[in-house]
Structure 1
Amino acid sequence: MDIKKIAQDLFDKEICELEKVKSKISDSLEVVVNLILESKGKVVITGIGKSGIIGKKIAATLASTGTHAVFMNAAEGLHGDLGIISKNDIVIAISNSGNSDEVLSIIPSIKKIGAILVAMTGNPNSSLGKLSNAILNIGVEQEGCPLNLAPMSSTTSTLVMGDALATVLIKARNFKPENFAVYHPGGSLGRRLLMKVKDVMHKDLPIVETNSDMDNVIMTMTKKRLGVVCIVENDILLGIITEGDIRRALKMKDKFFSLKAEDIMTTNYTYATEDIMALDALELMENRESQISVLPVLDSKKVVGVVRIHDLLNVVGK
């Protein structure tokens, strides 16, 4: 048995079926998008079995990208969960066959409530299709399953159609990363999208004056352990000295300890402001000919903090 070939054949089969479903995308998708954008209610995704599992994912994707959406198991809808639905809602019912008993059984109540019904089905001429206000055609010709029985191609096409709907809505709503972050405050994703420089910068600053000698510069840098020293006068940052500056100055062995901070400080430094995103600060440090590992943080010309590349990597990752 050639395991690798069997797996590759499955991929080929499902990709082929997705291409066919792609060709079936019609003006109905635009109708559904406009219905959702104009709705004063929410989107309720319903289904049963494998279609229900995919429906949960679609509802979760919509909810996390700016569309008020929930999932209702069709079987549970028969036993009270139809109370989730209001007359202003849009119900997207998923059934590949379009004839699932549990889905069809809740349609009269959906109609009585007054919600709009959208069918996501592989059979537009089914009972579900005929009862719906709009149809998203997810029909495939064959499943990936070698027995052509287990839902594979059909669930994949359903999932991708749901992603297509979510993608259009993201574009239509001009949904931005900062909006996405509001719905994902926890974990690494939330930190990546929400954290600003002021949230991670160090405020206990290594500060010396322009006439400070090298002993003082090195002692201050060692004590603060930030890899940089700020040369400040009247709260204004005049320049910075990094560990790289120290190494370069050490080449002047005979006069190193007679140098002052102003002699080796970098005045043309790159800096960040408090309110820029941590991710943007990381890009500022990395997307350059020569990477830097530390940034002073300024408010106007006043230094208010220092942020290191390690601090940024810890919160936004790579």
Structure 2
Amino acid sequence: MTRVGTAGPNRQLWLAAAVPTAFAGFGLAWLLARPDTPPPSSLLRVVADCAGVLAVGLACVNRLDDPRRRAELRNRARLPLIGTGAVWLLAVLGLAVGLAAESAGVGYGRLDLGTLGSYLTQISTGRLMLLVAASVAVLLVSSAAARIGGTDRPLTVELVCAALALVVLPLTGHLSQRAPGAVFALAHTLSAALWCGLLAAMALTVRSRGAWARTLPRYSAVALWSVAVLVVSGVVDAALQLDGFGALVATGYGRILVAKTVILVGLLGAGWRFRRGWVEQAAAHRTSSALSLRRAVAEVAVMAVVLGLAAALATVG
């Protein structure tokens, strides 16, 4: 029998499998979008989006457990949240530099501080990048202070900062040019973060069969509502963005959207199957923690492909 903590030291490595699949999704988007390919800075957007989704999940994963047990998950989430926040902040800062260089029409290595400063203070997308960076910095400092000080407090500040940064980031892409669909796109972003981020956070923090039995059914309920919002908001946003059904094959945006939809449909089918099998077995304590971890990581890895496609969609018109 697998011991409770057997997979603990390796779960970060297991979840790291989602990183190459996210870049695979971006690579697929790059091929589908040709000749209107995403700019190079979009690679950093992939990292920023993945880190943001994970941060949202880590900041609220403890809410899936019983009230008297939430402190344990909360404390386990703090260290990964610090690491995720650091990666997120570096990606956002790098993305800001990349966007400034692309806006000025110069190479990344030739961008001077004056041009960068002008972009961050005078251009709307630059100011939004400052807001994202500030939110992530507050998240990082708050998490680190609680960890260093040994303070057991709710992750409310971290959750608010993560959610704010995550919904503002799409506004730095083409979403800034299509205000009518902004509300639906932001709802799409948050629902995707809950669906994917919570499961990824569970893979990092849930370590026993009993904990999976308590948290997985609650995650399944949250995922059901998140997917409902995800589908409705995605359909409305696509209808507002595309000029007819022909655009689904005639434009890079449409082709990426089709690929994203196909993978999402596959995920929904797998999710329904898991809901009838894995969730019921886990709730009845008939599934080991190691098996639940493997299933969670496998599902997150496929979700990461969608995140890579979504990052490309933010900059492909």
Class of the TM-score when normalised by the shorter of the 2 chains: under 0.3
User: Which protein has the bigger helix share?
Assistant: 2
TM-score, normalised by the number of residues in structure 2: 0.26
Higher RCO, Cα 8 Å, sep 6+: 2
User: Which protein has the bigger strand share?
Assistant: 1
* Larger Rg computed on CA atoms: 1
